[in-house]
Amino acid sequence: MTTAADIMHSGARWIPAHETLDRAAQLMRELNVGALPISDEQERLCGILTDRDIVVGCVAMGHDPAQVTAGDMAQGTPRWIDASADIGEVLHEMQDHQIRRLPVIKDKKLVGMISEADLATHLSDDQIAAWVESVYAKN
């Protein structure tokens, strides 16, 4: 059985909710990623911040990324998957919630992220096609 831990990109890092978006952008550059899970003071997942969120939700709105925090951008209920979940559960979670990045948690700690690229290297062509159709489909 293939699990979330088998396909995830390890080494994911939190961005604390109190950190500013300019710091988040710097961290994204350092880690070469386009998204960071946002953590609260107890290191619990409270959202995911993407590079697009910074550009569209802050800069394009005329806000200063040095004044807006990652927590200000956190919206909705954050989704995650346990490291022991099988690939079917991963796909189900991403498809049902139309998400492209999924934090992987083990023992209440962030251990990795699953992205589109991770799926592409571990799924069959038919599985990828079904996932793309469900995640990118317009409702």
Q: What pLDDT digit, counting tens, does each position of 61-101 carry?
A: 999 999 999 999 987 788 999 999 999 999 999 988 888 89
* 98 touches 138 (CB < 8 A): no
Q: In the chain, what's the furthest Cα-to-Cα distance?
A: 48
Q: What is the pLDDT of residue 99?
A: 87
Position 1 pLDDT exceeds 90? no
Q: What is the pLDDT of residue 139?
A: 54
| Helix H or strand E segment including 53 | helix 51-57
Q: Say how far apart CA 5 and CA 28 lie, in whole Å.
A: 22
Q: What is the pLDDT of residue 82?
A: 97
Nearest CA among 21, 1, 3 for reference residue 112:
3
Q: What is the pLDDT of residue 24?
A: 97
Q: What is the pLDDT of residue 130?
A: 82
pTM metric for this prediction:
0.85
DSSP three-state, residue 29: helix
pLDDT digits (tens, 9 = 90+) for 15-64: 999 999 999 999 999 999 999 999 998 888 999 999 999 999 999 999 99
Nearest CA among 33, 89, 25, 85 for reference residue 59:
25
Q: What is the pLDDT of residue 102?
A: 95
* 4-13, 35-44, 122-131: range with lowest mean pLDDT: 122-131
